Amino acid sequence: MSDALSYRPKTGEIPTSPGVYRFRDASGRVLYVGKAKNLRARLSNYFAPLSSLHERTRRMVTTATGVEWTVVGTEVEALQLEWTWINEFDPPFNVQFKDDKSYPYLAVTLADEAPRALVTRTTGIRGARYFGPYPKVWAVYETIELMLKAFPIRTCNNANYKRAMQSGKPCFAGQIGRCFGPCSGTVSVEEHRTRVDEFVSFMGSQDKKLINRLTAEMKVAAGAQDYELAAKRRDQVMALNAVLEKSAVVLRDSVDIDLFGIDEDELAAAVQLFIVRGGRIRGVRGWMVDKELDVTTGELIDSIMQTAYSADSPPPREIVVPQLPDDAEALATLLAGLANRKVRLVAAQRGEKAALLATATQNARHALMLYKTRRSSDFVARSKALEDIQEALGMAEAPLRMECYDVSHLSGTNIVASMVVFEDGLPRKDEYRRFTIPESTDDTDSIYRTLSRRLAYLVPVDDPARDDPPGGDPALAESAEQKRKKFRYRPNLLIVDGGQPQVAAAARALADAGITGIALCGIAKRLEEIWLPDSDYPVILPRNSDALFLIQRIRDEAHRFAIAHQRSRRKRDISTVLAEIPGLGPARVKVLLAHFGSVARLKEAPEEAIGDVRGIGPTLAGAIHQHLRA
């Protein structure tokens, strides 16, 4: 049996966020549902050598033909989504979750005369209101402890409660201050019911209005010098705030909404739909949209709504989108006709819906990245892209080796440039190069300097001394060859990030180096147009073409690589320059960086300004000032 599973995703394609994953067989049936703090680390365990896997796990991964995952915000959200999907899909390899294990809930027995709060793993208690499930049983007890400080209600079992009410003596839990039901003698049945209603209302909505009301009552009591009541209200507020801090973002049981997370670039968009029913995620849909035209986000949302819903699949009462389109009112009317009821479109800005929308957007961002990676890895698509680039740029042959350059800086300081290499449409990361530019007037000058340094390693093709040792000295020839290994191969196409000015600077570098036979172009980000040297008009590639997609990916990779280098230099500046100064430790370095923002600004600062920083002082400021100018 081969250890290679054909559907195994690449490690870099799997996110490191918490989430829920599903294995499916050839017919699409869900075989297994699991959750993980780190999806990449967890899924890598399933793709270990088959001989090292447990027999049951080996049978599952060999039966499956695919794996998919959904990123969530927290472990609690992962638990709830896992629980929902296990109940929905009934996966055959998830039987261990159904035999002797279940998730704990916080239940309030509203059907009782004096309702009580309890921890349970069953959901069949008549008239009970459930909250959860919780990841661990201790999390339920912790929540009950906090809530009882704000709303003291009954926790003893029914037998003890009846015995205490008949005897007129509090139950044992009531005697030690652990139960606050009517049997304790401190409240009546009606007052206890009021407390229970507040308990349930807060747990169901987690609305801060109650906290605001209790805070106002605390201030009024303090103003009236009723300090005992004020202290009681203070403790209640602290307990409720603690519950809010420890609770994950969970929508109310009555909430039925659809949330659309969207991530887009100039050519494509990824959509993730979270279907929320009864306050829980009941399903997830995702699809890609190729953008034929330069549409706005609002126009994109219009087309998505028309695709997502129909008379057979009507929308819920509320739909949450990243932003409202210009015709939001008309779109809501159209959707209301499909649902035969009023439909609201909202753009969540804060609160629990905004948090869940952020999770959906995170999934969309990862889906778009995965789509780009897999599309560029397709051999047929790459071949077509290279042919289209050759034709569009008028090249004699396909650009089998392309180099792309980008410049990055921070307000004119820490200027760096990147060179990324793509061969046969795929990145060659071992041949990426970074450049540090000591000084420059602008981006065009930086492009010229970078390409001049790179082209210096290329000998013109028609140079008669191309294969001769420099000065006839074999040692010098060997040294030159070692330098040339840094840029071993000659590119077919040079790409710069920018428009006409950047392309002109690159063409000047090619001319000054005497290099011919290399094509050159630039890609301007705003309209994704391709500029050639000495051209008054850009080359416009179809927006959904593989050629534009490949050039865009090369540009984005060069930009990412330049930004990473620029950030590493800023970090290295701090660690190397400031760490050399006696008496300046990591804590003071951190304070200086927060105050000045960069080493460059610190160098320009006068000694008095450095001395004014907390914890520095005049003596150390003088040492810093002198060292940075040495």
Full DSSP string of 35-52: EESSHHHHHHHHTS-GGG
- Low-confidence stretches of the chain (pLDDT < 50) are 1, 95-101, 247-250, 293, 461, 464-470
**Separation of first and last alpha carbons in the chain:** 67
Q: What is the DSSP letter of 469?
A: P
Q: Which of 620, 108, 621, 554 is nearest to 372 (CA)?
A: 554
Residues 31 and 178 in one domain: no
Q: Which two tokens mark 577? A: 């320059």
Q: Which two tokens mark 328? A: 């939001």
Among residues 173, 206, 239, the one where a domain terminates is 206
Residues 17 and 76 in one domain: yes
H or E, element range at 331: helix 328-339
How far apart (Å, rounded) are the C-alpha atoms in residues 156 and 148? 13
Q: Which of 60, 68, 70, 66 is nearest to 94 (CA)?
A: 60
CA 453 to chain centre: 37
- Per the prediction, the chain carries an average pLDDT of 78
Q: Which two tokens mark 524? A: 């301007």
Residues 93 and 114 in one domain: no
Residues 445 and 555 in one domain: yes
Strand-strand pairing, 413-423 and 426-427: antiparallel
Q: Which residues contact 199 (CB under 8 A, 6 or more apart)?
A: 108, 117, 147, 151, 153
* Any domain includes 225: no
Confidence (pLDDT) at 132 = 62
Prior bond of 133 cis (ω within 30°): yes
* Any domain includes 228: no
Query: Any idea how long the chain is?
Result: 630
Among residues 374, 402, 429, the one where a domain terminates is 374
For residue 419, list its beta bridge partners: 405, 433
Residues 181 and 292 in one domain: no
For residue 250, list its beta bridge partners: none
Residues 352 and 414 in one domain: no
Q: What CATH number does the domain containing 83 carry?
A: 3.40.1440.10
What is the number of domains present in the chain? 5
Among residues 98, 125, 158, the one where a domain terminates is 98
Q: Which SS3 state, helix, strand or coil, does residue 629 take?
A: coil
CA 591 to chain centre: 29
CA distances from 73 to 220, 239, 411, 616 (A): 39, 24, 34, 41
Residues 415 and 533 in one domain: yes
Q: What is the DSSP letter of 539?
A: B
* Any domain includes 248: no
CA distances from 450 to 344, 407, 420, 433, 437 (A): 54, 9, 13, 11, 8
CA distances from 32 to 29, 85, 107, 357 (A): 9, 10, 29, 26
Confidence (pLDDT) at 22 = 92
Confidence (pLDDT) at 249 = 43
* Any domain includes 227: no
Residues 415 and 532 in one domain: yes
Confidence (pLDDT) at 412 = 64
Residues 439 and 550 in one domain: yes
Q: Which two tokens mark 259? A: 């949330």
* Any domain includes 224: no
Residues 559 and 603 in one domain: no
Q: Which two tokens mark 283? A: 């399903």
Residue 605 belongs to what domain range?
Answer: 581-628
In this structure, are residues 241 and 211 in contact, taking their beta carbons and an 8 Å threshold?
yes
Amino acid at 180: F
Q: Which of 380, 375, 256, 227 is nearest to 319 (CA)?
A: 256
Confidence (pLDDT) at 98 = 33
How far apart (Å, rounded) are the C-alpha atoms in residues 589 and 585? 6
Confidence (pLDDT) at 205 = 62
Confidence (pLDDT) at 416 = 85
Confidence (pLDDT) at 206 = 59
Confidence (pLDDT) at 519 = 92
Q: Which of 564, 267, 568 is nearest to 406 (CA)?
A: 564
Confidence (pLDDT) at 3 = 60
Amino acid at 460: P
Q: What CATH number does the domain containing 328 carry?
A: 3.30.420.10
In this structure, are residues 221 and 227 in contact, taking their beta carbons and an 8 Å threshold?
yes
Residues 60 and 121 in one domain: no
How far apart (Å, rounded) are the C-alpha atoms in residues 268 and 263? 9
Q: What CATH number does the domain containing 548 carry?
A: 3.30.420.340
* Any domain includes 4: no
How far apart (Å, rounded) are the C-alpha atoms in residues 368 and 350? 25
How far apart (Å, rounded) are the C-alpha atoms in residues 194 and 380? 69
Could you report the per-residue pLDDT of 303-328, keeping only the tens digit for each?
788 778 877 678 888 999 998 887 78
Confidence (pLDDT) at 100 = 37
Evaluate if pTM is beyond 0.75: no
* Any domain includes 331: yes
Q: Name the burial class of residue 443, with classes exposed (0-12), middle (13-18) and buried (19+) by CB atoms within 10 angstroms of its CB.
A: buried
* Any domain includes 23: yes
Strand-strand pairing, 19-24 and 30-36: antiparallel
Strand-strand pairing, 30-36 and 318-320: unpaired
Residues 517 and 409 in one domain: yes
Q: Which residues contact 584 (CB under 8 A, 6 or more apart)?
A: 578, 592, 620, 623, 624
